[in-house]
Structure 1
Amino acid sequence: MSEAEIRYTVVVPTTGRATLGELLAALPSSPPPEEVVVVDDRPGERDELLLPDGTVSMRVLSSGGRGPAGARNVGWRAAGTPWVVFLDDDVVPTPEWGPALRRDLEEASDEVAGSQGRIVVPLPRHRAPTDLERGTAGLAGAWWITADMAYRSHALAEVGGFDERFPRAYREDADLALRVRARGYRLTWGTRRTLHPVRPAGFLASLWAQAGNADNAAMRRKYGPSWRRHSGEGPGRTARHAITTGAALVATGGAVRAGRGAVTATATVVWLGLTAEFAWRRIAPGPRTPAEIARMVVTSAAIPPAACWHRLRGEIRARPRETTRDDSAEAGRDRTHGTAAPEVTRPVGRAREAVR
């Protein structure tokens, strides 16, 4: 494929983060994207997005707060090019990104439907990374994440794009990749490099992130218990979180009821022991500053019940509805896209750091 035939659209979903301008300013002029589609996913009335001046054509569309999956669907469906390159609004393409992208797409054979960029997470050199920094660094080995992922437009159309039942920026990219691969396409790693700086986050950021457990439940419902292996995921901590939460409930329940001293004491030991193990697992590789230790202790106590709650909520939400005569022919098929659930027999790529 010649350079003249490399036609691609960049799609960037955004919630108006300040990092958007830095990303757009870093996009290449050679070979330039045919268009940059910025999808504003903020609901309701909002300020106008400030886009940098440049030679690349840019337009802003709105997805009305449907989430990143819905925003990306709006973007790729508006594109008129053979390739769509998805970028998150908090990444920065490196200076050589444009030429490397051209090579990645030129070398893609017909059976290759997607090419992933290589994510680089800058970490501090003068100290050990924090829990947040280590979590972000895990993106460097994640499979098929849309922080930088190019797809052929016709492959997206074949599978119906992103499943909007994934409301967060979590698992919607893995779900798309599994469906594309189930169609017989290959996904490859490109040579282009994209920076993903560690962005500031609040004290309870790791606690709020547990909402992703609901999406884990959806993945299990769609692809079975082996979904983690097919998605390049390590083992999670769901079982340990469930034991920790159960022990906490028994310990606190026994404390207000007489005659259960031994049971309460045992449950308390299990609860505190598992919580301490979890906290130390997160503290040990870090900088061990007072602020980091405090954050890890507080969130390590709160994460197990939060994770269990979101997992239960996800399981309930993902339950298959009762099949009726009208839709019995569709049983066992993906109701959003009308395609059979993929049966992937071999994983490809690199493993992602285990998700809590």
Structure 2
Amino acid sequence: MQFKEIIGQENLKKHLIQTVVENRVSHAQLFLSAEGSGALSLAIAYAQYINCQNKTTIDSCGECSSCRKYERYIHPDLHFSYPFFASKDAKIAVDVLEEWRSLLLEDPYFDLDIWRSKLSAENKQANIPIAEAHDIIKKLSYKAFEAETKVLIMWLPEFLDKEGNALLKIIEEPPANTLFILVAQNQEQILNTILSRTQIVKIPKLTDADIVNYLIDKSQLSQNQATEYSFLADGNLITAKALLQDIPNNNAAHFAEWLRMGFGNKVPAMIDFTDDVAKWGRENQKNFIKYGINFLRECSLLLSGADDLVKLPHQTLDVAKKLSTHVLNLAMVEALINELEQAHYHIERNANPKILFLDVSLQLVKIIKFKTLPKGTQYIYN
């Protein structure tokens, strides 16, 4: 994979290339990013650039023997480790390496749920077991076959339990010309003993412009549709791609109308709305709730006077301003976001959508119309 294939992250690409040019490549690095930012792709492109036989000042050549093998993820000195679902046929990561390579070739932007579906793991728990740690130590102890630098890319080291301490010595004192790249999303879930031995590279979310340009380039979306999808994706390219596969439900209009129903105490209309939402399907319901959470967070910025930070699409900004001026206040927004986050949690766990959305609708009425906030919430007047 070459840097030019990765969406956005131009400044970070330049930084990574510069570390190679100036011979400042740390032997153990932690790529820390939000989901869907391209951290795994960056790690692979970085490793390919390091081992490219004809690298340029802006990218690997993509044509040398090393690059051709990297492009197919079959280079003998490129190793992967990742969470998997242990079984009698899968005791270490290599046992599902073909599935891993296949997924990378399909689309290197994926999350644990997509990886799970690739393995047909059902409800098993993913982890990186002690047997995998021992296998890493074993294969990195060998001399490099072809490349100057052996590379181990570990995706989601958060799934290393205390057994991960077995890797401490080899991470701190690796064999010559060995590079560790850990690709993580949650720093707090990584063993502190591993964190202290790595150089952290923070990878920002993709910008709205990056997502919009990608959506327009890869689909027939209009500028307005792409902008709304980008807002909903919030820098996550995986979410943006998933939205392209879903039937659009005009989330902006539906959510604004839902809030108006709550303000007007229009319970019969809310019941009808609940019946409609129940037919959307789980993914569209989750996207609707996520849109609402993002929309309300933008409203909180308007209420706080931070208008310059608001990222709402132009077509919904006026709606947000009217709601923030005449209906909402900060305490309401906080309470509404809390209700929606709980709803999203329950949708993911297959709650009955009619019951769930009716309950949330009634909570909207309590919070917006009757100003009944959760216990302990301080009421803030506009």
Flag the structure with higher helix content.
Answer: 2
Flag the structure with higher strand content.
Answer: 1
TM-score range, shorter chain: under 0.3
Q: TM-score, normalised by structure 2?
A: 0.26
User: Which of the two has higher C-alpha Rg?
Assistant: 2
